Amino acid sequence: MQIKRIFEPVIHFWSSRTLQERLYIGVIGILLLGLLNYRALFGPDVPDYGKAQRQTVATEFRAAWVASVVNINWPSEPGLSPQQQQQEAIALLDSMASANLNAVILQVRPHADALYQSELEPWSYYLTGEQGQPPEPFYDPLSFWIEQAHNRGMELHAWINPYRAHHFEGGEISEQSLVKTNPELVKALNNGMYWMNPTREETVNHSLAVIEDIVSRYDIDGIHYDDYFYPYPAYNDGEDFPDRAEYAQYLAEGGSLTLNDWRRDAVNRFVKTLYQQVKAIKPHVKVGISPFGIWRPQSPETIAGLDQYDTLFADARLWLNQGWLDYFTPQLYWDTNRVAQSFPVLLAWWQQQNFQDRHLWPGLNSNKVATVQGIDEVVNQIMFSRALLQEQAGQVFWNVRTVTDNPRFHQVLTQNIYANQALVPPSPWLDSTPPEPPAVEIQSGDEVVVKWQKTGSEPVFRWVLYYKDSDRWRYRIFNKNTHEFGFPADSRITDIAVVAVDRTGLKSERTDLPVKL
């Protein structure tokens, strides 16, 4: 009875309203409820993290994965026209460039298919909606992405999946698919995927041929491959990978390795050979690997989780120890304070394994940035990586949509964390000869125009323009096609300097000139 008395005024008020008034009140109520839910979900505005003022150019790898499998990122759906695909690509690259990212990792081989013109594998279903069908009117997506990325001063790394033959959401299996052309190399998994057998020599030769073809024909900056070596157990309903017949044959022919060692040995030889062959074709092309973030449980002692060494048969520590890569991107998707999978604990452990001083650029789960707390976590992870790795730091975001489609996180990058442009850190083991200093001239008139040109034979990939304003140096980074920049005549700039940067990140000496007004 007490409850009824409480609600009687509300009931009377509602029953006395006209239908139009009830609709109006309902709409207002929904809007207010939505606002309350938004605040409950997202909390207050993102805090102001501030920004650092730099007088020398920052070096930090800033990248995002662009996934084509299942149309996660690009293109947004299969069968779009080439014009729509290109518009989507440009929008992604523009947003990344505006956030001061300097590299894009584009998936061009989701599963034994191609988002580029290939004579070895069919056109991807995710591109045209039919495996084997080229774009109409024709264009080469990888060439387009490379050109557009380079025009924005960004590196383009071609991301390939080495062993997946077909995804269950990859459309109908065409007659050109490896599943049909070479069924002896492929195993069917219980989740509907098909997987190449990594221990077959023909599998290794085919995947290496695909990679060599990409490196030879395209002006890419890196080859990148991820954690899909042997499939995760869930892909096969927890059952073992179906290769016991091949292993029995191996033993019958005199082999002595255990089953797990035999599988790991095949993957190790693939990783080593891939690195050697890429370097034989184009030494400046970086090779990057992004394995599962935990090598083995209890490595270090407090860590628990999936054992990739005995589950995916990936000895990622060995690859890093031996330097069979140029950058190592373990997928460290856990929070800083998650004790058994702590981001800083794992990153510091991987750095301890980095005997060859290769780049350590962790993969971050930037999907966390859907909340303010998640943004704060990702910012903390970036700051920790900078503290540990200093001028060799870097991060790769999973995935690009968290940068391009989240205005709050994009703002944090542009105004705080990435407020200063950055060059990709140099890789001195790839190249020890820096480019020659550029030739520079200054023209004064209605504005102060700085012009520069390459000298020497070393190709230039980026330029850094320094300018001294009110006794403080500042800088801007330009792509290789930019050769001049203008300042207003009434500016307070007193000195100019220009630096050339090559494909491996090595910088020339500065060419300094005073500004005479």
Query: Per-residue confidence at 489, pLDDT binned at 50, 70, 90?
Result: confident
Residue 164 pLDDT greater than 60, yes or no: yes
Of 127, 155, 125, 154, the closest CA to residue 139 belongs to 127
Query: Per-residue confidence at 326, pLDDT binned at 50, 70, 90?
Result: very high
- 242-289 confidence digits (pLDDT tens): 999 999 999 999 999 999 999 999 999 999 999 999 999 999 999 999
Mean pLDDT of 409-419: 97
> What is the spatial distance between Cα 358 and Cα 148, in angstroms, rounded to a whole number?
28
Query: Per-residue confidence at 3, pLDDT binned at 50, 70, 90?
Result: very low
CB atoms within 10 A of CB 207: 22
CATH superfamily of 58-423: Glycosidases (3.20.20.80)
pLDDT at 301: 97
pLDDT at 464: 98
Mean pLDDT of 129-142: 98
Mean pLDDT of 194-212: 98
Residue 226 pLDDT greater than 80, yes or no: yes
Instruction: Please write down the HEC assignment for all residues of 252-268.
Output: HCCCCCCHHHHHHHHHH
pLDDT at 44: 57
Residue 386 pLDDT greater than 80, yes or no: yes
Of 148, 121, 147, 125, the closest CA to residue 135 belongs to 125
> What is the spatial distance between Cα 338 and Cα 91, in angstroms, rounded to a whole number?
35
Query: What stretch(es) of the chain map to CATH 2.60.40.10?
Result: 439-514
The CATH fold assigned to 439-514 is Immunoglobulin-like (2.60.40)
Query: Per-residue confidence at 446, pLDDT binned at 50, 70, 90?
Result: confident
pLDDT at 10: 40
Residue 182 pLDDT greater than 50, yes or no: yes
pLDDT at 445: 82
- 12-65 confidence digits (pLDDT tens): 444 444 544 444 444 344 333 443 343 444 445 888 999 999 999 999 999 999
Mean pLDDT of 224-243: 96
pLDDT at 31: 35
The mean predicted confidence, pLDDT, of the chain is 92
Query: What stretch(es) of the chain map to CATH 3.20.20.80?
Result: 58-423
Contacts (Cβ under 8 Å, ≥6 apart) of 512: 495, 496, 497
Type of residue at 56: T
Mean pLDDT of 152-174: 97
> What is the spatial distance between Cα 348 and Cα 341, in angstroms, rounded to a whole number?
12
pTM for the predicted model, two decimal places = 0.91
Q: Does residue 475 contact residue 465 with C-beta atoms inside 8 Å?
A: yes
pLDDT at 472: 95
**Residue-wise over 394-408: b if at least 16 C-beta within 10 A, else e?**
bbbbbbbbbbbebee
Contacts (Cβ under 8 Å, ≥6 apart) of 209: 120
> What is the spatial distance between Cα 377 and Cα 375, in angstroms, rounded to a whole number?
5
pLDDT at 45: 82
